[in-house]
């Protein structure tokens, strides 16, 4: 390393050149980030404190936090929020089913690839198309489900999308169906990461099947479980398309509407951009908290020492 000083001086000139090129290379995504993310967020914060409709003047209609106060007293908003949370019942159902199926696949059974493909097809299918399909499957008079129901019992089946409570059940069934494939694949990848010796050692120690599951599989899958939980929660707060396709008006007595559905209606149907933005900001805060929980929880109770 003789003459390293000289090299260093030269390097710093080169380094400067490298830096300038690097900044140029990352400029496009960064400019995109500023224009289509950072600026809109700041703008949303301002609009959320106004009664702006897009036609009247934004600065002349600032109302402080009045939109937020109104939202907290808005029964329709809370109804949509509760519905959004009720839909999340599908998350643990999907996780349990996904883990069980992945464990079955991981036993080295034949046809694993074919099965994985079949489970995954709903995930890659267009959300609009499969929502249309399930609206048809749930159809009260001619749908597949009630057809099967009638063939089996002779009686007419439930009004899947026409009843205030049934429509929630229907949505949960649909969402579990749509998302199951991705939890199966994530769990399967997690299972394949667990070293075989752990199970062999446990077997030699005489651990029962349940004990092996409880003390090896479950803790070592916890990072995957946590990942699925967080991403599903974030996704769960953004449910919109399936509601708009299957229950265009929000369902009977507005029972199927979600927070984003309500936000869309306020902003783009009623033109209340201020009120809609305030809902968007609340949504952003919720999702930010889930993300923070993600970082906190990862250290707290996820077992990462493999």
Contact between 135 and another protein per CB under 8 A: yes
> Which 171-230 positions form the footprint of another protein (CB under 8 A)?
177, 180-182, 185-186, 188-190, 193, 196, 200, 223-224, 227-228
CB of 18 to another protein, least distance (A): 6
Residues 161, 152 contacting (CB under 8 angstroms): no
| Stretch of 78-86, 88-96, 162-170, 271-279 contacting another protein, by CB under 8 A | 271-279
Nearest CA-CA partner of 167 in 269, 245, 265: 245
CA distance 249 to 255: 10
Q: Is 128 in the site for another protein (CB under 8 A)?
A: yes
**Binding flag, residue 291, another protein (CB under 8 A):** yes
25 binds another protein (CB under 8 A): yes
Name the phi and psi angles at 240, rounded to 5. Answer: -150, -55
Selected range binding another protein among 59-67, 78-86, 116-124, 160-168, rule: CB under 8 A: 116-124
Q: Which is nearer to another protein, 7 or 127 (CB)?
A: 127
167 is a site residue for another protein (CB under 8 A)? no
| Cα 32 from chain centre | 24
- Cβ 171 to another protein shortest distance, Å: 15
Q: Which of 12, 90, 50 minimizes the C-alpha distance to 275?
A: 50
Q: Select from 82, 96, 127, 289 the one that contacts another protein (CB under 8 A).
A: 127
DSSP H helical segments within the chain, as ranges?
4-33, 39-47, 66-72, 75-87, 90-105, 112-124, 127-137, 144-153, 166-192, 196-204, 209-212, 218-220, 222-236, 241-246, 259-264, 273-301
Q: How many chain residues bind another protein (CB under 8 A)?
A: 100
Candidates 91, 105, 171, 243; binder of another protein (CB under 8 A) is 105
Q: Work out how close the CB of 207 gets to another protein at its nearest, in angstroms, rounded to a whole number.
A: 16
């Amino acid at each position: 390393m003789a003459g390293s000083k000289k090299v260093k001086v030269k390097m710093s000139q080169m380094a400067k050149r490298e830096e300038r090129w690097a900044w140029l290379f990352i400029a496009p995504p960064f400019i995109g980030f500023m224009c289509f993310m950072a600026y809109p967020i700041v703008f949303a914060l301002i609009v959320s404190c106004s009664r702006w409709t897009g036609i009247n003047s934004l600065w002349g209609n600032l109302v402080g936090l009045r939109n937020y106060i109104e939202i907290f007293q808005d029964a329709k908003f809370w109804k949509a929020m509760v519905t959004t949370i009720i839909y999340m019942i599908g998350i643990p159902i999907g996780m349990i089913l996904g883990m069980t199926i992945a464990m079955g696949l991981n036993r080295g059974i034949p046809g694993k690839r074919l099965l994985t493909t079949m489970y995954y097809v709903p995930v890659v299918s267009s959300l609009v198309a499969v929502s249309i399909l399930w609206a048809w499957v749930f159809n009260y008079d001619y749908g597949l489900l009630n057809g099967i129901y009638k063939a089996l019992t002779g009686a007419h089946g439930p009004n899947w999308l026409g009843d205030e409570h049934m429509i929630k059940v229907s949505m949960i069934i649909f969402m579990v169906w749509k998302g199951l494939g991705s939890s199966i694949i994530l769990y399967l990848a997690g299972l394949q990461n667990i070293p075989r010796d752990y199970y062999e050692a446990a077997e030699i120690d005489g651990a029962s099947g349940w004990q092996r599951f409880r003390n090896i599989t479950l803790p070592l899958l916890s990072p995957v479980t946590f990942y699925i939980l967080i991403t599903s929660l974030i996704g769960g707060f953004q449910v919109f398309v399936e509601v708009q396709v299957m229950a265009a008006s929000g369902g009977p007595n507005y029972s199927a509407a979600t927070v984003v559905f309500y936000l869309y209606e306020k902003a783009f149907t009623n033109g209340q951009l201020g009120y809609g933005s305030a809902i968007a900001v609340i949504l952003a805060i919720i999702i930010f908290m889930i993300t923070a929980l993600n970082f906190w929880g990862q250290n707290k109770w996820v077992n990462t020492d493999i």
